[in-house]
A and B are shown apart, each in its own frame.
Chain A
Amino acid sequence: MAEPSKISDEIKQEIHDETLPPWKEAWRNFKKNKIAIVGLSIVSFFILVAIFAPWIAPEGINDQKLPERLQSPSAEYWFGTDDFGRDIFSRVIHGARISLWVGFLAVVGSAIVGSTLGIVAGYYGRWVDTIISRLFDIMLAFPSILLAIAVVSILGPSLQNALIAIAIINVPNFGRLIRSKVLSVKEEEYIMAARAIGMSDFRILFSHVLPNSMTPIIVQGSLAVATAIIEAAALGFLGLGAQPPQPEWGAMLSSSREYLIQAPWTMFFPGLAIMLVVLGFNLLGDGLRDALDPKMKT
């Protein structure tokens, strides 16, 4: 008589699952995905490193010890030293602050601007939609790094301007995503009901349409942080982003390029850091997509 009780357990579990709040269900799905957990761990690790950077780093970012320049990795200098005798380990740790900061801020900026434009376009439709959608099409017609370089050449090379450029080039990605989501949400019955009871457009947009479009924003956001970090590093590498002596990973790669033969470790570790943090956000984004919105899975 073991069979019936087993089935009833399964049914119980199913009923339990169906009554879970959506975020709990998402977390349950997320936890099952080992790769996503690896992503979350990598990202959490880098966030912790960034927060506690001044306490973890054994030396200051600009402590120069010229007699000890270009030392290979050792017990004292884990990642070696650069051409000014600065400890690369300490600089890479501080670099996490810059990269995460730029990544998050640029993505939050483009998510806010992009979502607003996308909501307006999707909700009002007609000529408003035509203008905004065409603008997105045109922006997407440029290779993104080229557009970023153009924006930075207007504003002047600096970390802050690189951040603005990255935020701008990512706007259409969010805009398009939200626009299509709004188009489908708009036809739902509860929106019609809200309109029927005389709710204002503004309230409908921000208390009904936006919350129901959050899932793709979160997923896209996580993946966009990954690209934003790479783009910021690329601009830094081209001399258009963070400027030396800022310990930005891309700028570090660019300033130690001439020592590639003598001291490859000056290039190895900053690049490895970029790769790991980007990998973390990519895995996290994939995991979130599968957990929150299985339909988006490709």
Chain B
Amino acid sequence: MLQYIIRRLLQLIPVLLGMTFIVFLIIRAIPGDPAIVILGQQATEEAVAALRETLGLNNPWYVQYFEYLKNLMTGDLGESIRTRTAVNEEIWPYLAATFELSIFAMVIAVFIGVNAGIISAWFRNSWFDYGAMIFALIGVSVPIFWLGLMMQYQFSLQWDWFPTTGRENVRDPVNAITNLYILDTIIQGRFDQTLNVLRHLVMPGVALATIPMAIIARMTRSSMLEVMKSDYIRTARAKGEKMFWIVYKHSLKNAVIPVLTVIGLQTGLLLGGAILTETIFGLPGIGRYIYEAISSRDYPVIQSGILVVAFIFVMINLIVDVLYSIVDPRIRYN
């Protein structure tokens, strides 16, 4: 097991190095001179030249790249041009907002998706089955930014069930400790705020959960159908075990792998989808952070933001792979 994890970690090194190089290239390729962006259009030529020298922009690209790598190794993600704050200091609140949203969305997706898939497989060809699968087919095709806007219109502007935008009640802001607001409010015993934060999370969470939920429902259904045909399930039925226990105890265990795959694959989509969801629901998340950095040409933020997100994505996939090998030891040897 340990050997497998070590091997996977070693395989990651070239990918991570390649990622830093691609991000480095992208930033260099974006038109515009960082020195002018920092100093503004009115800056004198001498000032720009001097800043280029201090930023090391006159060095050959490979010198710049190794300088950049060296800084990364020491945990230095650069300094934001807009706010003049170190990126590794200011990035966490944004990341935390995205984490909270993504975890919330994934919980919805897994809970509803898995159960819908199970019930569909259990009552195969029933109305529930047809309904759920039609819903799932539509769910994978819906553009989430549109779904988000429609939900805003219906549930917030028309019915006033949920707040339209934001993460918290601005008149009663959460006292941030970890920046994961649900956790923060629970630690402080402010359960009224917890409820409020949850109310803010419902719409963006559901919008973001729609696609993974649909995929998980379909995958669960087909793998459950496969498993329920097997001999040991028939044995369990012959022994007279209740159908409910057969489904939830015996079959579900074997349906875990495809669900894990989807979770691994969907995290990337989730992180990407977070950009759109955060835009619509005005959430200060990492997607929003990078997107705004691009529009204001805040190079260090773009660079580090993209890298951090890609790093998280790679790590989640690694964790999923390790989980696979725990659930199904045969995978380790392939």
Contact = CB atoms under 8 A, between A and B. Distances in A.
A298 B219 contact: yes
Contacts of B150: 264, 267-268, 271
Nearest to B258: A298
A119 interface: no
B290 interface: yes
Contacts of B142: 275, 278
B146 A274 contact: yes
B22 A145 contact: no
B143 A274 contact: yes
Interface string B140-154: 111101110110110
Interface residues of B, number: 44
Contacts of B18: 134-135, 137-138
B252 interface: no
Interface string A258-272: 001100100110110
Contacts of A144: 268-269, 272
Interface stretch (B25-33, B108-116, B237-245, B324-332): B25-33
Nearest to A153: B294
A146 B140 contact: no
Nearest to B274: A143
State the main secondary structure of chain A at its contact with B: helix
B320 interface: no
A116 interface: no
B293 to A, nearest CB: 10
Contacts of A28: none
Nearest to A254: B145
B273 to A, nearest CB: 7
Given A238-B291, A253-B149, A298-B219, A143 B272 contact: yes
Nearest to B305: A146
Interface residues of A, number: 42
A143 B143 contact: no
Interface stretch (B36-44, B121-129, B169-177, B309-317): B309-317
B11 to A, nearest CB: 9
A149 interface: yes
A244 interface: no
A141 B310 contact: yes
A141 B313 contact: yes
B140 A282 contact: yes
Nearest to A39: B137
Interface of A: 35, 134-135, 137-139, 141-146, 149-151, 153-154, 156, 226, 230, 233-234, 237-238, 250, 253, 257, 260-261, 264, 267-268, 270-271, 274-276, 278-279, 282-283, 298
